[in-house]
Amino acid sequence: MTAAQTLAAGAGFPVFVIFVTFVCCALFLAILVTTHRVTPGDFYIGDGRLTPLQNGIAIFGVYLSAATLFGSPGRIALTGFDGIGYLLGPIVGMVLVLLLIAEPYHSTGRYTIGDNLGRRLRTRSVHVAAGLATLVICVVYVIAQLVGAGALAAPITGLRGDGARALMVCSLGLLVILYAAIGGMRATTLIQVFKGVIMLGGGAALTVLVMSRVGWDPAALLSRAANHSGLGDGFLRPGVSHGNQLVGELDSLSVQLSVCIGAVGMPHVLMRLRTVPTARSARRSVEITAWLSLAFCLMVGVIGFGAAALLGRNTIVADNGTGNTAVLMLAESLGAVFVTMISCIAFTTILAVVSGLVLTASAALAHDIYQVGIMNGKASEKSELLVARGTVVLVGLTATVLSLYAQAEGISFLVGLALAVAGSAVLPALLYTMFWSRFTTRGALWSTYGGLIFSVLLVVFSPAVSGTPAALLPDQDFAYFPLGNPAVVSIPLGFLLGWLGSVLDPRRPDAARYAATEISVLADV
Amino acid sequence: MSQATPPPGRDADPGRRWEPGEPWAPAARSVSLEQLRYHPTLLRLRAARRGPVFTGAAILVVLYVSEILLANEAGGFMSLRLAGPLNVGLALSLLQCVTAACAIGWYARHARRVLDPEAAQVRALLREEGEV
């Protein structure tokens, strides 16, 4: 009997009641926080009126997704030391956002990444490029999150099977669409703050329980984890996940680069930076996020080793080969009430992250592509807002349908793809725009389209899509690229293309607009 | 997405295009902004914003990547025991958490003590220039 089935038997009904109550409250609040006269600025960024504390918690809520909550502890429980990189990556990534991105992004931006690039480059072409990259990242990431949501069907509704999973994905997808289309950024912020708080609380509760079981001794936690892993000291050393082969090592380097560098360029995190009034408050928000991420990732480490120590590695593998159920199993062993708690946190996490992503995708479509790309900035605010709400529905429905189709497939590579595109198509152009005087439009287009196309192509020709039993198309074999994650190639390539395109551009960079951008970056004017 | 209006020759006047952020109209005083880039206050602020901050970011990335490379290439070294179950690899991971915490604390302080006051000076300077 798997953990999900056990849970379904024991904790189904009460969780379902809590879940329905929660959904009703969430929708009611979404309508409540909506102001009567909504403008695009209000819809995308809540008019930039949040306080740093609210925004810091909300960024934390949207930054760490279900992958950190379930994937990372599972990986640590299965591979020990090799799993730690998945926690260090997000920590270092958020510190990089604080140092390099937060203030300059706020002072040179408006709603979308295209606004930052368009301030000093040829406005229309860079808006469209950044909009397309943002759209791809968000849709791919939403699919990954919604497919993960299918796994929550059993613990929340008590129903099993493909139908229940599909029902769960559909209802979550529709809920997000309603929520984001009605409430925009204000409602999304609300759910993200709520999620950030309960995720910290839940993480702290599990951490305290795990530590109390091992006598508050970190050394005992590690020793017990190593003993129960069946691998002895090898569990605490590098090499459990990929042995000693070059391809495995490169792949792990690639994944870890994507969770650190790629996370810096995620558009749904960047969009939140504009929800506060000044660059200074953007910095203070990210400061709060960085401390919270550091604390939470340390807790996740304890939970991961705790799962290995208290349950044993073999029990976890027997339930689910990826380790994604390790946290649920640990919660179950600590008491039924924790299963309810973890299920609610997981549901809120997916709702918060997906609504943030859908909102960001709709801003990319309505602002970058419709308003600037098609209408050349001449569309009225009212029509842009209408398009924004329409695209929330469009993106949400597309992603929901695609995730229903992807339900049974091996799609774990999608998170890596989204992060690789963010690191290679968004981040280089953004950093060059804010800090490099000789950056030109051609550099921006080369790095954005180049990073986007290469990341996608490398994944299409990777073993994640074909050639292996676990792949998306196991019967075919066109896996010419050996790595499952493209980041190690595509991120340097994105930076290289941005530099090369600028150097080879016959047009000279616009010195006057760079001077204005630089003053903005330095002094927030 | 073909560029609708390829400017003849060099980039056309930026002020004529649609601008995302309206209040600071770059065309209105672009000449003075270009000159301002070399104003001592701005040079100081640029040095304070770039030098130490870029160095800090570079240190974090180098530490992060070198731990991955060490784990891949020097498994024996990473497995050396330091105390109880703690080995070099785990100690380096903890060290990265410590450096991350130091970086957050340092930057918050640096921004409050150095960057914010300098930026306020630059804004005051801009206001003066704008009135002239």
The domain limits of chain A are: 3-257+283-408
The closest alpha carbon to B104, from B70, B53, B41, belongs to B53
Residue listed under structure tokens 């409430």: A183
Q: Which of A59, A96, A99 to mutate to test the interface with B (most CBs of B within 10 A)?
A: A99
Min mean pLDDT across A180-189, A259-268, A402-411 is at A402-411
Task: Give residue-wise pLDDT tens across range A364-389.
Answer: 999 999 999 999 988 999 999 999 99
SS3 content of chain A, % helix, strand, coil (to 5): 80, 0, 20
Shortest Cα distance, chain A CAs vs residue B55, angstroms: 10
Single-letter amino acid code for the residue at A370? Y
* Token duo for residue A95: 């510190």
User: What does the alpha-carbon distance between residue B18 and residue B16 come to, in Å, rounded to a whole number?
Assistant: 7
A477 contacts: CB under 8 Å, gap ≥ 6? A466, A467
- DSSP type of residue B87: E
Residue listed under structure tokens 């609380």: A201
Residue B12 has a pLDDT of 36
B62 contacts: CB under 8 Å, gap ≥ 6? none
* Token duo for residue A360: 């960001």
Q: Which residue has the higher pLDDT, A332 or B32?
A: A332
pLDDT at B122 over 90: no
Task: Give residue-wise pLDDT tens across range A84-112.
Answer: 988 999 999 999 999 999 999 999 999 99
Residue listed under structure tokens 């879940």: A19
Residue A41: which H helix or E strand, with range?
Answer: helix A40-45
B44 touches chain A (CB under 8 A): no
Q: Which residue has the higher pLDDT, A144 or A56?
A: A56
Mean of the per-residue pLDDT values for chain A? 89
Residue A339 has a pLDDT of 84
Average pLDDT on A287-316 reads 94
Alpha-carbon Rg for chain A, nearest whole angstrom, is 22
pLDDT at A452 over 50: yes
Residue A14 has a pLDDT of 66
Average pLDDT on A61-77 reads 89
Q: Do A508 and B10 touch (CB under 8 A)?
A: yes
User: What does the alpha-carbon distance between residue A288 and residue A92 come to, in Å, rounded to a whole number?
Assistant: 14
B35 contacts: CB under 8 Å, gap ≥ 6? none
Q: Which of A88, A246, A283, A435 to mutate to test the interface with B (most CBs of B within 10 A)?
A: A88
CA distances from B128 to A399, A521, B131 (A): 52, 19, 5
pLDDT at B23 over 50: no
Task: Give residue-wise pLDDT tens across range A35-49.
Answer: 667 889 999 998 898
Q: Do A507 and B11 touch (CB under 8 A)?
A: yes
B41 touches chain A (CB under 8 A): no
**Neighboring chain A residues of B107 at a CB cutoff of 8 Å:** 98-99, 287
Residue A15 has a pLDDT of 67
User: What does the alpha-carbon distance between residue A10 and residue B59 come to, in Å, rounded to a whole number?
Assistant: 50
**Neighboring chain B residues of A81 at a CB cutoff of 8 Å:** 71, 78, 89-90, 93
Q: Do B53 and A291 touch (CB under 8 A)?
A: no
* Contact criterion met (CB below 8 Å) for A168 and A150: yes
Backbone angles phi, psi at A473, to 5 degrees: -120, 80
The closest alpha carbon to A124, from B84, B61, B119, B18, belongs to B18
**Neighboring chain B residues of A98 at a CB cutoff of 8 Å:** 103-104, 107
Per CATH, domain A3-257+283-408 is 3.30.1340.30:
no
User: Is residue A504 packed enough to be buried (19+ CB in 10 Å), middle (13-18) or exposed (0-12)?
Assistant: exposed
pLDDT at B28 over 90: no
The closest alpha carbon to A69, from A293, A336, A393, belongs to A293
Residue listed under structure tokens 């909009």: A131
* Contact criterion met (CB below 8 Å) for A120 and A433: yes
Q: Do A257 and B65 touch (CB under 8 A)?
A: yes
* Contact criterion met (CB below 8 Å) for A64 and A214: no
Q: Which of A98, A128, A231 to mutate to test the interface with B (most CBs of B within 10 A)?
A: A98
pLDDT-derived band at B15, boundaries 50, 70, 90:
very low
Residue listed under structure tokens 């299409």: A460
The closest alpha carbon to A198, from A84, A305, A292, A89, belongs to A292
The closest alpha carbon to A466, from A487, A451, A481, A486, belongs to A481
Sequential DSSP letters for A260-300: IIIHHT-HHHHHHGGGSSSHHHHHHHHHHHHHHHHHHHHHH
Q: Which residue has the higher pLDDT, A163 or A106?
A: A106
User: What does the alpha-carbon distance between residue B113 and residue B122 come to, in Å, rounded to a whole number?
Assistant: 15
Q: Which of residues 89-118 of B touch A (CB under 8 A)?
A: 89-90, 93, 96-97, 100-101, 103-104, 107-108, 111, 116
Task: Give residue-wise pLDDT tens across range A327-344.
Answer: 988 998 988 888 888 888
Q: Which of residues 62-81 of B touch A (CB under 8 A)?
A: 64-65, 67-69, 71-73, 75, 78-79
Q: Which ipTM value was assigned to this complex? A: 0.91
* Contact criterion met (CB below 8 Å) for A114 and A284: no
Q: Do A252 and B49 touch (CB under 8 A)?
A: no
Q: How many residues does chain B have?
A: 132
Buried b (16+ CB within 10 A) or exposed e, A436-448: eeebbbbbbbbbb
* Token duo for residue A253: 């380097």
